[in-house]
Amino acid sequence: MTDYLSVVLDELVPECVDEEGDWGRVVADAGGETPAMTAEEWALDGASTSTVSRERRSRSQRRWLTRRRLVVIGLSAALAALLVTPAFGIGGRLLDLIEDEPARRPEVRISSWSLDGRRIAFVSRRDRGNWELSVVNADGSGQQKLASVAGNATPAWSPDGRRVAFEGPRDGEHDGLYVMNADGSGQRKLARRAHAPAWSPDGRRIAFIWGHKLYVMNADGTERRTVQKSHGGGSLRWSPDGRKLVFLSAGEGCNTCFTFHVVNTDGSAPQSMSVGVAGAREGSHWWEQAPVSDPSWSPDGRRIAFARLNDHGGIYVVNADLSGLRRLARTSSGSYAAPAWSPDGGKIAFGFDRDDNSEVFVMKADGSGLRNLTRNPASDADPSWSLDGRKLAFVSDRDGDLDVYVMNADGGGQRRLTRLK
Amino acid sequence: MTQPQRNSAETNSIVDIEAIYREQYSRLLRFAVANLGDVERGRDAVHEAFVRAIRSVSDFRGQGRLESWLWRILVNVCMAEKRRRVVPTEGWLLQTSTDDPPEWPEIREAIASLPERQRTTLFLRHYADLDYDQIGAVLGVARGTVAATLNTAHTRLRSVLGEVKR
């Protein structure tokens, strides 16, 4: 090629040398796991000086990551109290990371309870087929498929429970953000590309993340605007008063950090809490090293709970202004996931896995009164409160395959609702 | 959820995929931007290519180089993206900002008018900086075919460039 032609061609396309991409988001969207940089010790203030060694995740860790990826987050009690309809309440629960690996057994995760407590929405798939959003009555009857959805994003229910926003299957034809009625009718595409949709508590807006930006648009897809630039991100949640959004992203300007963001929905007053992982390998990603996840607003909007997955993790609570960080539940080993506030704000349910045995636990919001609700050698995970706080839906494989179960808030009356195989 | 297990080869492949992503992201992006004519769409394409790679890592059976396999996925993603959209000829290759007047419109038009195979080969050579063997592995053609294809494309572009210079 002539030098002159080479120069011309060079000028036609910008150099991209400053671009680094976002491997963590690739992993998240792929739903795959990658051999992880596992922090042997990790401090939220970044002060830890422990080294991080590159190691394969143990089987237990991998299993737990998978379970965690099944998890979606809690319900909005305040709105639930206001709205009593047979439709579905806010499905703020989200799973940004979901395995997408060969599997013959059904895979399932809870999406949301209906506002009247009579139905439970869940996402499942069989034989590596499409992920499907379905509903089942709380007595196990009336199981019904609503739509095919992306496997790595949990549908978001409107506060009145009459509509659901979801990410379509990434098959090249149905990519994008859709909204449909709660019975599966009236499906409409609102955005070509979107991830982690979250419905505002007033039902008027939908927030989502795509590329390197956090967006908010009207619930009909109009007036989309950028709230904040981000380094990818996920786990997007509205505060109960609809004034703030919280999400997680890669550490900004730091390859070995992750960042917690809280921002007003108009983009003002952005706050962030970056957490370093001392000794981490440069170039590795926050998601690999500090897999913190599942932020969940307390019903009064004053606090945010989140989980750290790996060993030495725990359930953490931080004030809405990102002050006052506290670790409520901690053990010398094991992995935590999916904290879910009870509708009255008095308790937090979560999943905990140790020695290949995951259980659903509950504790008071101050960290006291820890109780194992499931006590079963099978996998029990993904707790989700009913809006009256009297029941918890969860996922278990105690009968062979993963299915949706329900139990009383005290752990009694555990029974299976679905038969997905 | 059940925990499907990756075998060690798949796990190692993912480690290698990550390494390629980190080492070659800018080259991959530049190719995708050239191919799709838009930086944001280019980012999406690279992202999508690696998502697909991770999801289908079990399909990579060690035949050929992993890097070539990844480039092939990106080429396919870009082609699929273009098929899904009607790309105006004038938007081809370079979507400069609206503030900047378009540069070399004749060259752009000439590139846009190249057959798909020539255009992709040109982009892989010039923007991705792959050598002939690598391009052949990506496109599934012989080294000589790559050379001939590039020569044809260059000839066409030189011709246009000559006209421009006059």
pLDDT band, very low/low/confident/very high, at A415 (cuts 50, 70, 90): very high
A11–B104 C-beta distance less than 8 A:
yes
Nearest CA in chain B to A69: B1
Domain range for B25 is 8-165
pLDDT band, very low/low/confident/very high, at A31 (cuts 50, 70, 90): low
**Share of residues in chain B with pLDDT > 70 (%):** 72
What pLDDT does residue A341 have? 94
Interval A90-119 mean pLDDT: 52
Selecting from A8, A29, A193 the residue whose C-beta is nearest the C-beta of B51 gives: A29
Highest mean pLDDT among A81-85, B31-35, B57-61: B31-35
> What are the tens digits of pLDDT across the range A343-382?
999 999 998 877 667 889 999 998 888 899 998 888 888 8
What pLDDT does residue A204 have? 94
Dihedral, CA atoms, A98, A101, A102, A104, nearest 10 degrees? -10
> What are the tens digits of pLDDT across the range B3-38?
334 556 666 777 788 888 888 888 899 899 888 887
> What are the tens digits of pLDDT across the range A391-413?
999 988 888 888 899 999 999 99
A26–B1 C-beta distance less than 8 A:
no
Whether B55 is covered by a domain: the verdict is yes
B47–A25 C-beta distance less than 8 A:
yes
Both tokens of A41, joined, read 């010790």
Task: Give the start-to-end residue ranges of the domains of chain A.
Answer: 3-416
- Contact between A289 and A37 under an 8 Å Cβ cutoff? The reply is yes
Assess whether pLDDT exceeds 80 at residue A7.
Answer: no
* Residue numbers in B near A66 (CB within 8 A): 1-3
What pLDDT does residue A364 have? 93
* Residue numbers in A near B107 (CB within 8 A): 8-9, 12
d(CA B45, CA B62): 24
A62–B157 C-beta distance less than 8 A:
no
A32–B1 C-beta distance less than 8 A:
no
**ipTM of the complex in this document:** 0.78
* Residue numbers in B near A6 (CB within 8 A): 126
Whether B2 is covered by a domain: the verdict is no
Q: Report the gap between the CA of B55 and the closest CA in chain A (Å).
A: 6
What pLDDT does residue A270 have? 86
Whether B49 is covered by a domain: the verdict is yes
What pLDDT does residue B156 have? 83
d(CA B150, CA A93): 52
H or E element at residue A395: strand A391-396
What CATH number did the domain enclosing B71 receive? 1.20.140.160
Per-residue buried b or exposed e for B17-27, using 16+ beta carbons within 10 Å of the residue's own CB: bbebbeebbbb
pLDDT band, very low/low/confident/very high, at B121 (cuts 50, 70, 90): very high
B21–A26 C-beta distance less than 8 A:
yes
B43–A211 C-beta distance less than 8 A:
yes
Nearest CA in chain B to A56: B11
Whether B88 is covered by a domain: the verdict is yes
Domain count along chain B: 1
> What are the tens digits of pLDDT across the range A229-269?
765 667 788 999 999 999 877 655 555 456 778 999 999 98
CATH superfamily assigned to domain A3-416: TolB, C-terminal domain (2.120.10.30)
Nearest CA in chain A to B21: A23
What pLDDT does residue A23 have? 83
Assess whether pLDDT exceeds 50 at residue A104.
Answer: no
Top-confidence residue, A377 or B61:
A377
CB proximity under 8 Å: A 162-221 to B: 170, 172-173, 193, 211
Both tokens of A228, joined, read 């904040």
